[in-house]
Amino acid sequence: MSDFLKSLDPRINRLSIPAEFGSSFPEKDEKDQFITYEVFVQPKENKAMQHEGIVHAPTEEMAFLFAKEQFSRRGMSCVGIWVIKTTAIQVSPITENGEDIYDYINKEIMEGAEENGLSTYQVFQLAKRGKQHSLSGSVEANSFEEALWNAKNTFADDKPALNLWIVKEEDILKIEGDEFADIWNTLPDKKYRDAMDYKATEKIKKFKEEQQKA
């Protein structure tokens, strides 16, 4: 009788996992999961930076490494990735399709706002339910509320937006530009990740012809 789990997989045998363990989960003093970061990807020079999803990570540098693997490991190109702590993003209420969030933003929202000096804020808009937020551009402001108001004055003439995300520039880790361009240089070489690399129609045809002859 073995004390270790026996597997068909040699790697699992090497792990020496006890054959029997209790059904209770290993005790933890506190939850040990990492916080989440929201990931934005710019696939091409002429396309907007767009929200792609999240990663769990202990630091923003590791968030970038995970984001790069998760959201830019295939495709023909990528020109930049931004990662932002979920808690660093300020969110407007979500409106109905056909409405415009900018119609609900007026000057009064700035009353009593906590001012913390002039900084740059990036503005992301949601064009439609079900879609992803994409970058509209930046505004200068003394507070989130003022950033909202300035966003209205800068972007409200564009297509209607359902929902806004606003982030202070200093809370964004930006990996983009010439300095980082070589990170994605090898993407077009990874043909083996692409369905196009697995053509087999000829082989099936030849096989069928041989079967018929036989």
Check residue 212 for interaction with other proteins (CB under 8 A): no
Check residue 27 for interaction with other proteins (CB under 8 A): no
Check residue 46 for interaction with other proteins (CB under 8 A): no
Check residue 203 for interaction with other proteins (CB under 8 A): yes
Sign of CA dihedral 139, 144, 150, 156: positive
Site for other proteins in 111-130 (CB under 8 A): 129-130
Site for other proteins in 140-179 (CB under 8 A): 165
Distance between start and end Cα atoms, the chain: 52
What is the residue whose two structure tokens read 């009788």? 1
Q: Which residues contact 199 (CB under 8 A, 6 or more apart)?
A: none
Binding track, positions 90-109, relative to other proteins; x by CB under 8 A: -x-xx--x------------
Contact between 122 and 138 (Cβ < 8 Å): yes
Helix (H) or strand (E) holding 124: strand 119-126
Check residue 25 for interaction with other proteins (CB under 8 A): yes
Contact between 183 and 114 (Cβ < 8 Å): no
Listed residue (11, 13, 26) closest to 2, CA to CA: 13
To other proteins, the closest distance from the beta carbon of 100 in angstroms equals 16
The residue ranges that bind other proteins (CB under 8 A) are: 5, 7-12, 15, 17, 21, 23-26, 28, 31-36, 38, 51, 53-56, 58-59, 62, 69-70, 73-74, 85-87, 89, 91, 93-94, 97, 129-130, 132-133, 165, 190, 192-198, 200, 203-204, 206-208, 211
